[in-house]
Amino acid sequence: MGRSGRMDVIEGSGNFSPSGETSLTIGNFDGVHLGHRELLRRTVAHARDLRLQAVTLTFTPHPVRLFTPRARFYEITSMGEKASRMEELGIDVLVVDPFTGAIGGMGPEEFARTVVHERLRARFVTVGYDFTFGRNRTGSPGMLRRIGSELGFEVDVVPPLLRGGAIVSSSRIRELLLSGRVREAEELLCRPYAVSGWVIPGAARGRKLGFPTANVEFVQELLPLPGVYVIDAAVGGVVRRGVANVGFNPTFGENPLGVEAHILDFTGDLYGQEMTVRFRDRIRDERKFKSVEELVRQIGKDVGYARSARLATHPETNDAASGGRREDGGR
């Protein structure tokens, strides 16, 4: 079965009625990073070779929230962004199961038989080397392969993907972002990490200093380490280079954590518009300045750094492909 039209999103595996056998992959796919992309690529390849539907099964909420509810845990991507990335990569159907109640309580054998075999009608199942399933995460790729041989589906186990001598994982990407290493996170994500939100009124200090800023009411859980960053700001289909401060603006007293973006060579009004801030490079730590004049001089240096920054491009997220355009020449 070839790809036709948009990807379908099904809430609950019990609500999925496949037209035939499927090529299936299972996981949380937080970040849809390089390792996940290999799982999805193989799933789509098996589907196209055998004329099957390419299906992804994922879960909400993230199981970590149930296993360790008191742990500090930040998801890299929303379910909507996961769906967009999977559709771009050729998945035909995304099935989202609630990781509570019946699904979370199934043993490995029951999960494989009921969900994988009966509901999703898997012919091929592609999983990662560290895949676990079933109650208390007691199922392994080896167990799934054994069960599959009995039920009639094959299991493709993808080995770990290494970059920089370490395994590509969602946990590693979270650690990179929380330490401000956005360039390294971008390499593993195949795109810049980004937050989005509406531009809301602020204290208007930036305009008085000669560097007007947009205050972004972000909705994401995860922000990079406080500091100053080179960004690409996307508003209304147009992408422009800029500088953003993530932090508390300590020069002006105590303030809540925020994201303020200064867009280079732009003087328009952005209030009430939705902005996506893509973090491209870290310039420096946030710090408290002794005077406003010292702050202005440093912002000028930050802007100069942003203008000259040479940054990677990504075919999957280039602005022409996403229907947007750049107004800075793509520096």
Grouping H, G, I as helix, E, B as strand and the rest as coil, residue 21 is: coil
Nearest to 54 by CA among 105, 121, 106: 121
Q: Exposure string (b/e) for 271-292, b if CB count within 10 Å is 16 or more?
A: eeeebbbbbbbbbeeeeeeeee
In a domain, 252, yes or no: yes
Q: What is the pLDDT of residue 317?
A: 45
In a domain, 107, yes or no: yes
Query: Are residues 36 and 78 located together in one domain of the fold?
Result: yes
In a domain, 176, yes or no: no
Please state whether beta strands 227-235 and 274-284 pair in parallel, antiparallel, or not at all (unpaired): antiparallel
pLDDT tier at 205 (50, 70, 90 boundaries)?
A: confident
Q: Distance between CA 331 and CA 318 in Å, rounded?
A: 13
Domain boundary among 163, 184, 218: 163
Under a CB-based contact definition with an 8 Å cutoff, are residues 62 and 170 in contact?
no
Nearest to 168 by CA among 60, 38, 271, 3: 38
Query: Are residues 110 and 204 located together in one domain of the fold?
Result: no
Nearest to 176 by CA among 245, 224, 243, 222: 224
Rg (CA), the chain: 22
Q: Give the pLDDT mean for 306-320.
A: 73
Query: Are residues 111 and 221 located together in one domain of the fold?
Result: no
Q: Give the pLDDT mean for 176-180.
A: 98
pLDDT of 257 > 80? The answer is yes
Q: What is the pLDDT of residue 256?
A: 85
- For the question of whether the overall pTM of this predicted structure is more than 0.85, the answer is yes
pLDDT tier at 303 (50, 70, 90 boundaries)?
A: very high
Q: Give the pLDDT mean for 239-265.
A: 90
Under a CB-based contact definition with an 8 Å cutoff, are residues 246 and 204 in contact?
no
In a domain, 179, yes or no: no
Grouping H, G, I as helix, E, B as strand and the rest as coil, residue 148 is: helix
pLDDT of 289 > 70? The answer is yes
Query: Are residues 100 and 22 located together in one domain of the fold?
Result: yes
Number of compact structural domains in the chain: 2
In a domain, 182, yes or no: no
pLDDT tier at 72 (50, 70, 90 boundaries)?
A: confident
Query: Are residues 275 and 204 located together in one domain of the fold?
Result: yes
Q: What is the pLDDT of residue 70?
A: 63
Assign residue 237 a region (left: φ > 0; alpha: ψ between -120 and 50; beta: otherwise): left
Q: Distance between CA 108 and CA 141 in Å, rounded?
A: 11
3-class secondary structure for 260-314?
EEEECCCCCCCCCCEEEEEEEEEEECCCCCCCHHHHHHHHHHHHHHHHHCCCCCC
Supply the CATH number for residue 25's domain. Answer: 3.40.50.620
In a domain, 168, yes or no: no
Query: Are residues 40 and 134 located together in one domain of the fold?
Result: yes
In a domain, 187, yes or no: no
Under a CB-based contact definition with an 8 Å cutoff, are residues 175 and 166 in contact?
no
- Determine the residue type at 242: G
Its domain, for residue 206, covers: 192-326
Query: Are residues 71 and 218 located together in one domain of the fold?
Result: no
Helices (H) and strands (E) in the chain, counts: 10, 15
Supply the CATH number for residue 266's domain. Answer: 2.40.30.30
Query: Are residues 85 and 24 located together in one domain of the fold?
Result: yes
Distance of CA 130 to the CA centre of its chain: 20
Query: Are residues 201 and 97 located together in one domain of the fold?
Result: no
Query: Are residues 155 and 196 located together in one domain of the fold?
Result: no
Domain boundary among 122, 143, 163: 163
Distance of CA 57 to the CA centre of its chain: 17
Assign residue 57 a region (left: φ > 0; alpha: ψ between -120 and 50; beta: otherwise): beta
Grouping H, G, I as helix, E, B as strand and the rest as coil, residue 137 is: helix
In a domain, 175, yes or no: no
Query: Are residues 157 and 221 located together in one domain of the fold?
Result: no
Task: Look at 230 and 210; give whichever has higher pLDDT.
Answer: 230
Query: Are residues 26 and 140 located together in one domain of the fold?
Result: yes
